[in-house]
Structure 1
């Protein structure tokens, strides 16, 4: 998000994102901190083409499930036409560039409440922050906006979408922080499961 879809660095500690923040944002950050760190550790830095392909297969599996889920959501009226950033088309292009075939998409359940939806979107849109790091790592591997890393350029260029989401998070009516945190944590867990599945297919084991 942040990953990548998976990974995003902490905006509260970075002057670049010194915008006004809501307590709801901090609740989501703190409530997902442990699983987020586990996911970052499992992915590791993208220091080789093999590592990048492993990451790409994992994010394809998860993002495919997420975007399929989003297609069946009736977006709240207070979104006023705003939607999360769509990545699947460029992810599929990146997969073709890297000569990999997407695995079966992860199954992502529809959120039962608006608060649960906001938890999911927090993870999805927060990936735009981590993309600032990953796009640099990909460039060192010879991957860029025209080949292999299109989705990272889309994500890293969608910071305005993240800012809009934060304002929507603040407007969310009858916000239930437990539901939102559980939903966000579950999506991070699904991302970690996707990484582990890819590793298992390649004979790699997690402790």
Structure 2
């Protein structure tokens, strides 16, 4: 097995995409049905979801194994940008939604699964960034965390997946990474259910 590939011969990013595709699609449908950029009230709720999710995972970018094996990844975190967006819009974070403290004991492989989901969300963020402009928001006010990377979202994603695929995971570790990715999607889905406006099109999702 070559570095960055699983026992089935595909890069880790491709394997994670295949195993999480349906879960990912359901989450995307749920979020877009809530119309996060329809008005500032909806956007504020979306921002609360983003803050809690990024609060959960920011420490993963600085885990010793992640920092050592995926050098430079700590610069990819958007947690500080999300916090500043909250300040810009004077949005309060719900106090009854505790942090997901499991990240403190997460294995390297499981952390990669979570990071795959968080970094992948930047592709959708680029679309929402354009919609946020209609609300008077921009890359320096209220929508910092949605701003595309300087090199563009597609190239940034390739930079991340290159780092991800360079991790040498065996079959058992891939299962941990897949578990991490599914858990990240589930956490995001639970937060969306708790915070975002309810929509009939979300029923049964």
TM above 0.5, yes or no, is yes
Change (3 A) 1:74 1:139: same
The structure whose residues are more often helix, as a share, is 2
Establish whether residue 198 from structure 1 lines up as the match of residue 182 from structure 2. no
Q: Structure 2: where are the runs of 5+ without partners?
A: 1-9
- Runs of at least 4 residues off by over 6 Å: 202-206
Aligned counterpart in structure 2 of residue 103 of structure 1, from 94, 108, 124: 94
How far did 1:158 drift? 6.5
- Structure 1 length as normaliser, TM-score? 0.76
Q: Distance in 2 between matches of 1:183 and 1:194?
A: 17
Aligned counterpart in structure 2 of residue 60 of structure 1, from 28, 44, 51: 51
CA contact (8 A) 1:57 1:103 kept: yes
CA contact (8 A) 1:28 1:184 kept: yes
CA contact (8 A) 1:132 1:156 kept: no
- Structure 2 length as normaliser, TM-score? 0.76
The CA RMSD over aligned residues, in Å, is 2.6
Choose 1 or 2 for highest CA Rg. 2
Change (3 A) 1:84 1:39: farther
- Counterpart in the other structure of 2:144: 150
CA contact (8 A) 1:94 1:149 kept: yes
CA contact (8 A) 2:137 2:143 kept: yes
Aligned counterpart in structure 1 of residue 31 of structure 2, from 23, 26, 43: 43
Aligned counterpart in structure 2 of residue 138 of structure 1, from 132, 141, 165: 132
